[in-house]
């Protein structure tokens, strides 16, 4: 196995752990060659690349590195070798030539069809996850081995760079879906031909920031679905930047549908989105996850699905109203004005709050927030029973944080309706003539943007 200077930067595995070689050479006072490895899991290491006061390499974590002997490290195998081990050897071991039950040999019927489908040249969906793939191998071998590959999972392997990955994907001319774990490329535009047909891209657990995603965007000119679970995105940037960089189009139309599943990232767009945003550092800024959800909905103008939950029109209305209230004062301070001719908020504000591209907030949305106190958080609402004219309206002061389930409990006592299933909706003066359904017992009233003076309609069955 090569252990010269060209091993620096290569990926290795050792005892099931993966890392990157940062140093090759002696480590006195011991004899022989060592590999200085920065581990993907910092808990695997012992130091930061220093030994007895001498620094041999650097690590992102203070105990992310260690030294190992070359014979203990695996530099992986090429794509086709991994492919054969995964699909030919495993299949043969699984079904064998025949099956023995007691002393009788039973012929396997139907497995010829399985074998035929598993022939390498017939594969369209390929999973080489954690198969130690480190490079493409001999020239054109991949193109000949899997000419019809459309989906490829290379996550958890030993690929050291996008350049190495491109040497694989450029031979897969039908590839449309890729699962991989790599960070950034030094020259993404140059590698775009290798990913020209890619529609779905998964880059989970790559420690990527959104800025780095944008930097790599020119590599993926046709990507429609992007999965970024467990990354390092901590800011919102407008997706239109990504689109304009990667597709070179002057504007975005409804036909450019983008479906994003960004478990650790968010973006802004005028397109349609499906977004999954879990375990996101950005969400930690808000104590209430529902507040984070509302902010995301307000920023993404065409979002239809968030964390596998449909974004209803009423929820969007409430989210955008709340967003305007939250940042209305800052909008005014930045140069915003209700008069369109005078409305000139500065670039910094517009970059951070693209929601205000839709026009000036209503005057009521710019009211100064009252200081926190329980009396300031109470909403005066009127309960009305539209299907029972004999019941008089009941006015109550309730905290906006009160969940719907507790509101229904209160109504059961007030209206003396034990055992009845209650259905709630509310009306607001801002949208006269329209009822907004309150359909989730575990949400607070503020989730539905119930405001002071609103009427809550109560029905039962």
Which pLDDT tens digit goes with each residue over 114-162?
Answer: 454 457 889 999 999 999 999 999 999 999 999 999 999 999 899 999 9
Residue 398 and residue 383: Cα distance in Å, rounded? 11
- Of 60, 56, 58, nearest to 26 by C-alpha is 56
Whose tokens are 């069809």? That residue is 113
Query: Which span out of 82-96, 153-167, 290-304 was modeled with the highest average pLDDT?
Result: 153-167
Rg (CA), the chain: 29
| Residue 349: per-residue pLDDT | 81
Structure tokens at 423: 């259905």
Tell me what pLDDT residue 366 has: 56
pLDDT, tens only, 167-202: 999 999 999 999 988 888 888 999 999 999 998 888
C-alpha dihedral (46, 47, 48, 50), degrees to nearest 10 = -140
Burial of 177 (C-beta count, 10 Å sphere; 0-12/13-18/19+) = middle
Q: Say which CATH class 5-72 falls into.
A: mainly beta
336 close to 345: Cβ distance less than 8 angstroms: yes
Please give the Cα distance from 459 to 461 (Å, whole number): 7
Would you say 268 and 238 are in contact if contact means Cβ atoms under 8 Å apart?
A: yes
* Model pLDDT for residues 132-145, shown as the tens digit of each residue: 999 999 999 999 99
Q: Could you tell me where in the chain the CATH 2.30.30.190 domains are found? A: 5-72
Collapsing DSSP to helix, strand or coil, 23 comes out as strand
pLDDT-derived band at 238, boundaries 50, 70, 90 = very low
What's the pLDDT band for 221 if we cut at 50, 70, 90? confident
125 — phi, psi (to 5°)?
-120, 115
Q: How far is CA 307 from the centre of its chain?
A: 10
| C-alpha to C-alpha distance for 231 and 260, rounded to whole angstroms | 14
Contact in structure between 307 and 276 (CB atoms under 8 Å): yes
Residues 266 and 233: their CA atoms lie apart, in Å, by 8
Q: Which residues contact 330 (CB under 8 A, 6 or more apart)?
A: 349, 353
Topology at the third CATH level for domain 374-460: Ubiquitin-like (UB roll) (3.10.20)
pLDDT of residue 93: 53
């Amino acid at each position: 196995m090569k252990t010269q200077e060209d091993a620096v930067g290569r990926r290795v595995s050792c005892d099931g752990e993966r890392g990157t070689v940062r140093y090759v050479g002696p480590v006195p006072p011991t004899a022989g060659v060592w590999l200085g490895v920065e581990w993907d899991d910092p808990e695997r290491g012992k130091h930061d690349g220093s030994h007895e006061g001498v620094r041999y390499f650097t690590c992102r974590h203070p105990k992310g590195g260690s030294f190992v002997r070359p014979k203990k490290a695996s530099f992986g195998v090429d794509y086709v070798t991994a492919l054969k081990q995964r699909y030919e050897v495993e299949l043969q071991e699984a079904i064998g030539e025949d099956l023995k039950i007691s002393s009788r040999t039973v012929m396997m019927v139907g497995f010829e069809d399985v074998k035929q489908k598993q022939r390498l040249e017939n594969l369209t969906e390929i999973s080489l996850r954690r198969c130690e793939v480190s490079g493409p191998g001999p020239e054109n071998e991949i193109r000949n081995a899997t000419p019809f590959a459309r989906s490829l999972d290379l996550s958890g392997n030993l690929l050291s760079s996008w350049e190495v990955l491109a040497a694989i994907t450029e031979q897969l001319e039908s590839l449309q879906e890729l699962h991989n774990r790599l960070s950034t490329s030094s020259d993404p535009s140059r590698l775009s031909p290798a990913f020209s047909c890619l529609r779905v891209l998964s880059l989970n657990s790559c420690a990527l920031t959104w800025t780095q995603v944008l930097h790599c965007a020119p590599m993926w000119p046709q990507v429609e679905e992007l999965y970024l679970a467990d990354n390092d995105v901590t800011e919102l940037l407008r997706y239109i930047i990504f689109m304009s960089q990667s597709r070179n189009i002057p504007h975005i139309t409804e036909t450019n549908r983008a479906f994003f599943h960004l478990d650790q990232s968010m973006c802004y767009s005028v397109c349609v989105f499906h977004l999954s945003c879990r375990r996101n550092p950005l969400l930690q800024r808000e104590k209430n996850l529902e507040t984070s959800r509302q902010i995301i909905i307000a920023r993404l103008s065409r979002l239809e699905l968030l964390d596998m939950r449909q974004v209803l029109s009423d929820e969007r209305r409430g989210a955008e109203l709340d967003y305007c209230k939250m940042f209305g004062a800052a909008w005014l301070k930045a140069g915003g004005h209700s008069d369109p001719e005078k409305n000139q908020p500065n670039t910094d504000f517009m970059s951070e709050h693209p929601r205000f591209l839709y026009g000036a907030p209503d005057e009521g949305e710019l009211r100064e927030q009252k200081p926190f106190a329980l009396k300031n958080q109470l909403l005066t609402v009127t309960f009305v029973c539209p299907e029972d004219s004999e019941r008089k309206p009941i006015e109550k002061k309730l905290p906006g944080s009160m969940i719907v389930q507790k509101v229904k409990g209160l109504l059961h006592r007030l209206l003396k309706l034990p055992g009845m299933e209650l259905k709630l909706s509310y009306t607001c003066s801002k949208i006269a003539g329209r009822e907004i359904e309150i359909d989730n017992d575990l949400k607070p009233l503020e989730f539905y943007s119930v405001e002071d003076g609103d009427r809550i309609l109560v029905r039962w069955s």
